[in-house]
Amino acid sequence: MAADYRAVLARPGAARLIGTGLVGRMPQGMSPLATLLLVREATHSYAVAGAAVGAGALASAACGPLLGRLVDRVGRRLVVGPAAIVQASAFIALAVAAGSRLGVAVLVACAAVAGASVPPIAPVVRALFGELYEQPGVRETAYAMEAISQETIWIVGPLAASVAITLASPEFAVAVLAAVVLSGTLLFMTSPLLGTVSAEPSRDQVRRSALASRDLRWLLFPAALMGLAIGAVEVGIPALALHDGSRAASGFLLALWSLGSMLGGIRYSQTRSGAPLGTRYAALLALNCASIVPLTLAGSLAVAAPASVVAGLAIAPTLSCMNSLVGHVVIPGSEHEAFGWTLSGLVAGVAAGSALAGALVAPLGVHGPFALAVCAAGLSAAGAARFRGRFETVVAVVE
């Protein structure tokens, strides 16, 4: 396994690609909490706050594949840069709208525009891995490294948003997002690999829609249900912290959740066996369901802290395995769109989970979102049964 890590990083520019990709995506870790608390403070409603977060996620899910397909057709930099400008403008508008009390519709609309214009950095990075690494073991290690390292976004992002909110205000935190979007995306666009590997698609190449792959279409089902579970937990954890009287603790608990995912991803990359990818995917989704259960029993921050770590353990391994599956089922020429679709399926689930969880807090209490998450995660594991036993891989040596 160490040899695979060295092979990934030995590719000139790979470390820079991964690092700048993380910086460019940092707003994704900050925006859910910042938007949730901003809208909740402006409207005094969890339901509206959850709807705003969900609207942003749903818009991202709807537009992600379109941006990915556009990247396949016109190139990476011509899409990533303009998207960042639009999203930064939407964040500024959201902060102004909340401070001016312009109403629920305006807040939700601004959040939706911000979600619709997420720069497609993740699909670009994942598609590049498929082009940079020909050996399946090295490629899967690259996906695992990316899944592990991206948890930095969900650790640093919520903490940074929490600090900005505590020291200043939710409006200030959302305004900071605009600056991070522009600077982080600009840094990512300086990566030379964006222009050296199939940056400009051939006009003579016939490009089919990524959804022409039946396996890819089916893969969206468990991905969306996993996203629903994530979205429910994403709303449930801050609600639990606020219920216990600590707004600042929400960022801390979300960071612990992501830390658990990072730890799980590291362990997965060290012990990955040669079991078929489909079998691993179904097993990891089942583990994700079981790991959320402790949060349904958390009645205080002291219990919620370790439960948050446990709840995240299976996330990075599952995403790593899912990205490897995409690499097996993708139609050549539609790589960015394919990764855009699976990411959008995940994000669409997050949107639904956020909205449903926000609506469940009032009638069912702060544990309602976690019960929803357990149900969704269980269904996602059942949906992954289609892939069980498929896509054999080379046995990896455990070190």
Neighbours of 163 (CB within 10 A): 14
Asked if the structure places residue 399 within a domain, the reply is no
At 247 the pLDDT is: 66
Using 50, 70 and 90 to split pLDDT, how confident is the model at 3? low
Residue whose structure tokens are 């840069």: 81
pLDDT at residue 116, as a whole number: 93
| 320/137: higher pLDDT | 320
Q: What is the pLDDT of residues 290-346, one digit of tens each?
A: 999 999 888 778 888 899 999 999 998 999 888 888 878 887 778 888 888 988 888
Q: Identity (one letter) of the amino acid at 386? A: R
For tokens 């001016």, name the residue: 100
Cβ–Cβ < 8 Å for 140, 320: yes
Residue 110 confidence (pLDDT): 93
Predicted local distance difference test score (pLDDT) of residue 224: 92
For residue 397, name the pLDDT band (cuts at 50, 70, 90): very low
Are residues 358 and 47 in contact, defined by beta-carbon separation less than 8 angstroms? yes
Residue 83, pLDDT score: 95
The mean pLDDT of 386-398, rounded to a whole number, is 57
Query: Which pLDDT does position 396 carry in this prediction?
Result: 42
In a domain, 189, yes or no: yes
Query: Would 203 be classed as within a structural domain?
Result: no
pLDDT of residue 197: 53
Contact assessment for residue 210 and residue 331, using Cβ atoms and an 8 Å cutoff: yes
Burial 37-74 (b: 16+ CB within 10 A, else e): bbbbebbeebbbbbbbbbbbbbbbbbbbbebbbbbbbe
Give me the domain span that covers residue 25: 11-197+210-387
Closest CA to 154 of 249, 256, 223, 268: 256
User: Which has the higher per-residue pLDDT, 291 or 162?
Assistant: 291
DSSP structural state of residue 294: G
* Residue 200 pLDDT greater than 80, yes or no: no
Of 189-198, 283-292, 324-333, 363-372, the range with the lowest mean pLDDT is 189-198
Q: Residue 170 pLDDT > 60, yes or no?
A: yes
Q: Give the confidence band of 51 by pLDDT, cuts at 50, 70, 90.
A: confident
Of the pLDDT bands very low, low, confident and very high (cuts 50, 70, 90), residue 364 is: confident
Q: What is the DSSP letter of 296?
A: G
For residue 273, the model assigns a pLDDT of: 62
How confident is the model at residue 201, as a pLDDT? 47
Q: What is the CATH number of the domain that holds 368?
A: 1.20.1250.20
CA gap 42, 252 in Å, rounded = 23
Question: What pLDDT is recorded for position 194?
Answer: 82
For residues 311 and 301, give the distance between their C-alpha atoms in angstroms, rounded to a whole number: 14
In the DSSP assignment, the letter for residue 272 is: -
Highest mean pLDDT among 126-135, 189-198, 307-316 belongs to 307-316
Q: What is the pLDDT of residues 258-275, one digit of tens each?
A: 889 988 888 887 776 667
**How would you classify residue 229: left for phi > 0, otherwise alpha for psi between -120 and 50, otherwise beta?**
alpha
Q: Mean pLDDT, the chain, as a whole number? A: 83
pLDDT for residue 146 is more than 90: no
| Predicted local confidence at residue 199, as pLDDT | 43
Contacts of 313 (CB under 8 A, 6+ apart): 260, 261, 263, 264, 287, 291
Is a pLDDT exceeding 90 seen at residue 32?
Answer: no
CA distances from 289 to 53, 208, 284, 387 (A): 23, 35, 9, 18
Q: What is the pLDDT of residue 7?
A: 77
CB 273 within 8 A of CB 396: yes
Amino acid at position 252, single letter: F
Tell me: the pLDDT tens digits for 87-116? 999 999 998 988 877 788 999 999 999 999
pLDDT value for 395: 39
Determine the average pLDDT of the residues in 370-377. Answer: 94
Of 248, 383, 261, 233, the C-alpha closest to 320 is 261
Give 244-268 as a DSSP string.
TT-STHHHHHHHHHHHHHHHHHHHH
Max CA pair span of the chain: 61
Q: How many domains does the chain have?
A: 1
Predicted confidence at residue 198, as pLDDT, reads 52
Share of the chain above pLDDT 90, in %: 23
Neighbours of 111 (CB within 10 A): 31
Q: How many CA atoms lie within 13 A of 204 on its CB side?
A: 0
Tell me the C-alpha distance between 111 and 132, whole Å: 35
- pLDDT for the residue 350: 82
Token output for 315? 């996330």
pLDDT, residue 323, reads 87
- Neighbouring residues of 302: CB distance < 8 A, sequence distance ≥ 6: none
pLDDT digits (tens, 9 = 90+) for 202-245: 444 445 678 888 888 888 999 999 999 998 998 888 888 877 66
